[in-house]
Structure 1
């Protein structure tokens, strides 16, 4: 029994010494981790800690840092992460983070991660594991941090894929790895729609390159991050037409990194595969300028109904006054058939009665003055309209489109939009995109075409070389008043923030506006547009017989009315003839 008691006392003493050593070791590790966390806060500020697991020193350190902390002991959250993006992620073990919430993974993809390694786990395998999840800001420490002073940080574009960072040398632990991609490929595909993206062959190198205000932005980004762009031509199916819709779908399926095209944003419920808006525009109609009024309708156009009614009222007033002052009696026939007033208002000579009273002379003077004003006004209108004919009304609504002679040429992408606008199918012509582009580029003024405000700039510049413009951009007649041009990108693109920052800087420096302004010159240099004058031929300004159609109609109508009056007089009593 005595020996048993001695052995138990020895074991207890040994256990207490081991616990003291363990506590001292944990205390040294905590101090090392605490110093490391303070250094990480200096390198890049963080205001939230997210800790996966609880069997390590990280939870206790959070209390010393006095920073809001979210402890996920199960390894996965059951809610969507809505906290600040300045979050530092700490993992108690290599497999402690088992996040399954998709939205949380998206929001925390590029956040910095610090992992506590235990056992014989190698840093290379950890970096491989996280790179497959496209999480690259990863650093690791081992239990002997207080002794070694080494942090293992993942490096993507090098071999081996990690770097030993000595805390005493002052080197950064986390770096922006995608600022130098060292020739890594960026998968893309062009939509080949001028002036956004146009293909040409470099005369010096003989390589195919792309130009345009969309292609230039992506080309500059590839050069900035020292990457290479690889066009995924194998995605094209034989005999099928490629459009921005296909490219948007390929990016959503992670087959492309960044598409060299506009992204399809219509009816999108999620914008995870769209970049920050590059350019704001509108998608309205390109409408032919209205035709000039034909010469044969000018004689009707100069007759304003209100002015004509006022002239007829003057005729009745003058007729009543003249007849009453001369005959002291009135009759309907004498008022309506007053020959003197009719001649006077038409600026023709008429018999002036002898021995007229002052009142009668005053009426004749007013009649002559009115006839001079009326005939001068209509003669001025007629000469001005014959020299420069007015145009027909502009189309400013879809109701005007319904009663016009034009049809609306569209592609099948706009069919669904027009259904909401209640445009009749008889006024719509649906074409394949290539046929639609060809028809629109020839300025066929029998149709109305949808066009973006950016594309209209090139059409407007092209019309400057015409003798007369053919189309105008009607910004009140739009399929989409707020058209957003974004790039299609894949969902987990790790350098999305760098690309969007580059996009905003290019706009801020004015490069985007410069590229858009010179779009027509680039198209002309690549022979994608012509200098042909598509304007209408100048009409012959000679007045022909058919232009006097309404004049002859009124003339023969007057002859017919006079003949009818003559017949009525012949059918009157015989004593009137005597």
Structure 2
């Protein structure tokens, strides 16, 4: 169980100056605020006597069976210390790695207790620190059991391979140097998921494989930054893409350190697995890519015009104004005649403006703004079957018939990359930049990105990292630098041209060109029909007026 350590004044003993100097060195270099003391009953050491009386929180754990997980309670500025015998090192290191899970870069000071000769102690130190490296604990220092007299301590170099260091303590020495600044060619294992446009696997004419794409470019620059190399444990294939489940399996079985796969944070991932996602590389959403609404025909335009109540209201007002001016004409006023001419001119200008607007911006069918309108329009959305469970539950239950699902990613990509306007498609905002850039070369856009129909309104797109990945914090800093420089946005804009070069994307204007054509006979028939209807309506009105007139004459003659 946890116990608050009672800090008593240190007694005066022979090697107090050395120990106090070392402890002060730790406080100055590490700057810890929480001290974790993993204490074993079978071993006594000087940590119990020199625990500082500063403002740090001192915690002691003496249960060897159930190590406590610290990250959700104490996750920053920790220093871990423990005394152990060589026979206990595996048990102690496993317990510390469990307590410091996801924060294993925490500085750890171990002290050997027990009388051992120099050669045996050196072998013990090598085994213990090699175990620390295997557990991904880079900041471990081991103190000799004769440290207070000889000042001997042990550390290790991680890259390019494990190397034990036997050091003598000096006040100027850095106890926990940063080890990830130079990997010295050490390989970082990765695999591209071949998900366009993030990573593009291409087979060249000579049979070699090349990999391109914004995410792969980031991985290349990242390993250059660390002076490392990229290693592919699995040979990628141009016709194969990795699903999220396959990527997770490769990461969890430690085949891959960092997967070159950009994935949105999944709400269905268990809380214990959220650490597999790295720092967000992009922030966006996951919505639908819908065809732009088609231009309605002349028949539909006239039908809409006649169905609108505003049309009949305007006609009624014009007729009333006309009757009013007819009555005023009897006054023989020149101002009234001028007003009639101005009204006729305004009406002609209004009609001309409407006609010009029709040619400049033709009317389109109703804008699809929700799933109900999508279902009524009959438009189907193509997506991946493996991603269907990520959709909102309302979308899956009530509107499942509006989706066409694929098992193979390249089948979906073939429809989407050809700009087939017969369907809509699910697409992330990161991939939409590719299609947006492609449509800059079109006379008119064929698709729009609808933020009204979304799988996730807010998505964090992250790389998939191995559990307790050594490069997590360095990768975070590197991504922040790329964002500040605007390189990630630039790489995604250029991904269109990369895909065109790789033959994965069509080039040119795929939009339909509208050419001037002679008026068809069907259009003339429609005009004649409208003219006949209008003429019939006028004759009917004229007959009604004559009937009213003659009825009044007959009544006056009676």
Kindly state the Cα deviation for residue 370 of structure 1 after the two structures are TM-superposed: 4.8
Residue number in structure 2 paired with 1:214: 215
Please tell me whether Structure 1 or Structure 2 has the larger radius of gyration of its CA atoms: 1
Q: Secondary structure at the match of 1:183?
A: coil
Rounded Cα–Cα distance in structure 1 between residues aligned with 2:260 and 2:127: 35
**Cα contact 2:282–2:462 (8 A) shared by 1:** yes
With over 3 angstroms needed to count, the CA separation of the structure-2 counterparts of 1:164 and 1:547, relative to structure 1, is: same
Rounded Cα–Cα distance in structure 2 between residues aligned with 1:220 and 1:566: 84
Residue number in structure 1 paired with 2:107: 112
Rounded Cα–Cα distance in structure 2 between residues aligned with 1:40 and 1:60: 15
Rounded Cα–Cα distance in structure 2 between residues aligned with 1:48 and 1:419: 44
With over 3 angstroms needed to count, the CA separation of the structure-2 counterparts of 1:539 and 1:398, relative to structure 1, is: farther
Residue number in structure 1 paired with 2:135: 133
Kindly state the Cα deviation for residue 224 of structure 1 after the two structures are TM-superposed: 2.5
With over 3 angstroms needed to count, the CA separation of the structure-2 counterparts of 1:312 and 1:516, relative to structure 1, is: same
Residue 293 (str. 1) matches residue 293 (str. 2): no
Aligned length: 516
**Cα contact 2:100–2:106 (8 A) shared by 1:** no
Kindly state the Cα deviation for residue 368 of structure 1 after the two structures are TM-superposed: 6.7
Residue 401 (str. 1) matches residue 370 (str. 2): no
Alignment of 1:550-561 (within 5 A): 550-558=526-534
Kindly state the Cα deviation for residue 102 of structure 1 after the two structures are TM-superposed: 7.7
With over 3 angstroms needed to count, the CA separation of the structure-2 counterparts of 1:147 and 1:386, relative to structure 1, is: closer
**Cα contact 2:68–2:98 (8 A) shared by 1:** no
Residue number in structure 2 paired with 1:486: 462
Deviations 1:168-197 (A, max 9, x none): 484433222233333333221111122211
Residue number in structure 2 paired with 1:424: 399
Residue number in structure 2 paired with 1:6: none
Kindly state the Cα deviation for residue 455 of structure 1 after the two structures are TM-superposed: 1.8
With over 3 angstroms needed to count, the CA separation of the structure-2 counterparts of 1:190 and 1:562, relative to structure 1, is: same
Residue number in structure 2 paired with 1:186: 188
Alignment of 1:65-80 (within 5 A): 67-75=56-64, 77-78=67-68, 80=70
Residue number in structure 1 paired with 2:5: none
* Aligned with 1:310 (options 310, 314, 323): 314
Kindly state the Cα deviation for residue 315 of structure 1 after the two structures are TM-superposed: 2.9
Rounded Cα–Cα distance in structure 1 between residues aligned with 2:459 and 2:102: 27
Kindly state the Cα deviation for residue 520 of structure 1 after the two structures are TM-superposed: 1.9
Rounded Cα–Cα distance in structure 1 between residues aligned with 2:47 and 2:96: 23
Residue 272 (str. 1) matches residue 275 (str. 2): yes
Rounded Cα–Cα distance in structure 1 between residues aligned with 2:512 and 2:421: 9
**Cα contact 2:68–2:99 (8 A) shared by 1:** no
Q: Secondary structure at the match of 1:49?
A: strand
Residue number in structure 2 paired with 1:49: 35
Residue number in structure 2 paired with 1:333: none
Kindly state the Cα deviation for residue 221 of structure 1 after the two structures are TM-superposed: 1.9
Deviations 1:54-108 (A, max 9, x none): 6211011004666432122334644645225222211111437366588633144
Alignment of 1:483-522 (within 5 A): 483-522=459-498
Rounded Cα–Cα distance in structure 1 between residues aligned with 2:316 and 2:338: 18
With over 3 angstroms needed to count, the CA separation of the structure-2 counterparts of 1:567 and 1:32, relative to structure 1, is: closer
Where do 5+ consecutive residues of structure 1 fail to align? 1-25, 327-355
With over 3 angstroms needed to count, the CA separation of the structure-2 counterparts of 1:199 and 1:359, relative to structure 1, is: same
Rounded Cα–Cα distance in structure 2 between residues aligned with 1:31 and 1:202: 68
* Aligned with 1:147 (options 146, 149, 171): 149
Residue 89 (str. 1) matches residue 80 (str. 2): yes
Rounded Cα–Cα distance in structure 1 between residues aligned with 2:442 and 2:37: 69
Q: Secondary structure at the match of 2:465?
A: coil
Kindly state the Cα deviation for residue 439 of structure 1 after the two structures are TM-superposed: 0.6
With over 3 angstroms needed to count, the CA separation of the structure-2 counterparts of 1:119 and 1:528, relative to structure 1, is: farther
Rounded Cα–Cα distance in structure 1 between residues aligned with 2:75 and 2:538: 93
Residue 38 (str. 1) matches residue 24 (str. 2): yes
Rounded Cα–Cα distance in structure 2 between residues aligned with 1:459 and 1:79: 46
Residue number in structure 2 paired with 1:166: 168
Where do 5+ consecutive residues of structure 2 fail to align? 1-11
Rounded Cα–Cα distance in structure 2 between residues aligned with 1:33 and 1:171: 15
Deviations 1:523-552 (A, max 9, x none): 233333231321113144433232355534
With over 3 angstroms needed to count, the CA separation of the structure-2 counterparts of 1:455 and 1:549, relative to structure 1, is: farther
With over 3 angstroms needed to count, the CA separation of the structure-2 counterparts of 1:199 and 1:29, relative to structure 1, is: farther
* Aligned with 1:465 (options 420, 429, 441): 441
Kindly state the Cα deviation for residue 139 of structure 1 after the two structures are TM-superposed: 1.4
Kindly state the Cα deviation for residue 504 of structure 1 after the two structures are TM-superposed: 1.8
